[in-house]
Structure 1
Amino acid sequence: MDAFDRDAAISALAWQIELGADEAIADLPVDRYVDVPPPEPAAPVAAAQASDAPALPKTDPTAGHIAEAARLAATAHDLETLAHVMQGFDGCSLKQGARNFVFSDGHAGASLMIVGEAPGRDEDIEGRPFVGRSGQLLDKMMDAIGRARTADDPTNAVYITNVLPWRPPQNRDPSVDEMAMMKAFLLRHIELAAPKCLLLLGNSAMKTLFETSRGITAMRGQWKEVAGVPAIASFHPAALLRNPAHKRAAWEDLLNVKAKLK
């Protein structure tokens, strides 16, 4: 480079520095007066990769609650501990809206164990199963076959519980998820109470323990085995209050239970 070009370059650089241009931002000059073509659309690589990627498995919260209930039930070695772990179980949302935890009533060593569906309004208030109109009818039914929840003799007593220990809102039927969630607790309850016979009252109790989708009308009066115990299903007392025509069939089932216990 000759002296003139060198001096001219130095002068041009000094002029740019005075204007505030103190660093280079590109290796080559850019002509701002030339039209720049629009950029080509980017290939949808991310979308293609997303469509090719395997879908993540969906988690089932109910399955997790069922597993947790089974784990807790297995830790209970007596009825008192079972009641304690059930009260501490947070998987069932019914617990949040119920007044009381309803575990059982009657003689825990009774040869006959009754399983109902869920607490109603009166049961939720008192914290005991079958204390409303249905409970009064149940007591009369038990008395007819020589049984009572207040009896001290296990051969004349009865032990009562439900599939669910918390009242569903507006006394609605228990949901499939709720019954599945509490089933492990119920089976452990039966094992610890060790009755000689089970009487399942209503669709929810029957479907939970018989593992069937058929209704109570089709399944009542049939003996099956639940946790090693003979079990029979019959109409819930509430159904008998609504439809007295079922009382004859319910009486047949009670006589069947009485004969089995002999």
Structure 2
Amino acid sequence: MDSALDWHAARAALEWQLEMGVDEALADAPVDRFAAESARVAAQAQAAPTTATAPAAPMRAEAVDPVAEAEEAAAAAPDLDALRDAMGAFDHCALKRGARNLVFCDGTPGARVMIVGEAPGREEDMQGRPFVGQAGQFLDRMLAAIGLSRAESVYITNVMPWRPPQNRDPKPDEIAMMQPFLRRHIALANPDVLVIMGNISAQALLGKRGILRLRGQWAEAEGRPALPMTHPAYLLRTPAAKREAWADLLSLQAKLRETANQG
């Protein structure tokens, strides 16, 4: 009985092998190809050198210091045109990616009065010039009241050359990385007097905030007389503050006469 079962099982196995394509016997015993492959890999491992190679140290990205790069780029600018190009090439300020235009300056380079505003608004961003919206038009009327104009006697820039989204205040790190460009801008324009308009400008040039407390009090910034004033946009929102702004303009006029006599 057992032999009959063995014979039928062997026949079934042979028929299965024929169906699978086995039509020739090469050896009396089957060959375990998986075991042969494992033996080959083990032999190669034994023949390989035993000295272990230390894994390569991971690459470290070098830290970027935006302020240091800004200082280097600003210092290398020999004139205002080169400074504009250097600011345009500076890619570390995120505001640049959301702005339409670099807002560099307006007015008369070399003028005795240099006004430093805060940051561009919508109109300034579209035109690439500072103080061209309603606040800019009001600024022009303020200057005309004491015989000044951007066409002849005033040079204008901002702390930030790019518009912050939704006109938010620039962040401290954004101000810090643009300060080297502002300082170089003032040095190249070389005005007799600075007018610092708004809180952001006061923070950048005087290291202080609280423009309503600071306004009208002469200080020194970048080695020259500096007059903090409320921003024209604030005056449009707060007409009662225009009287104080008029007093500040008269103080500016007196300072220009004083410095002219000293020269």
Distance 1:19 1:232, change over 3 A: same
Distance of 1:114 and 1:144 partners within structure 2: 16
Distance 1:246 1:60, change over 3 A: farther
Residue 100 (str. 1) matches residue 111 (str. 2): no
Calculate the aligned-residue CA RMSD, in Å.
Answer: 1.8
Paired letter, 1:197: V
Residue 239 (str. 1) matches residue 234 (str. 2): yes
Q: SS of the residue aligned with 1:230?
A: strand
Paired letter, 2:159: V
Q: 2:197 aligns with which of 174, 181, 201?
A: 201
Distance of 1:170 and 1:142 partners within structure 2: 28
Distance 1:19 1:69, change over 3 A: closer
Q: 2:185 aligns with which of 185, 189, 193?
A: 189
Displacement of 1:19: 11
Displacement of 1:205: 0.4
Partner of 2:138: 137
5 Å-filtered alignment, 1:152-163, equals 157-163=153-159
Distance of 2:66 and 2:181 partners within structure 1: 12
Aligned pair count? 203
5 Å-filtered alignment, 1:110-259, equals 110-151=111-152, 157-212=153-208, 214-259=209-254
- Could you tell which deviates more after superposition, 220-229 or 236-245? 220-229
Would the aligned equivalents of 2:205 and 2:222 in 1 still touch at CA under 8 Å? Answer: no
Displacement of 1:180: 0.8
Structure whose alpha-carbon radius of gyration is higher = 2
Residue 260 (str. 1) matches residue 255 (str. 2): yes
Moved over 4 A (4+): 18-23
Identity %: 56
Distance of 1:158 and 1:112 partners within structure 2: 5
Displacement of 1:228: 1.0
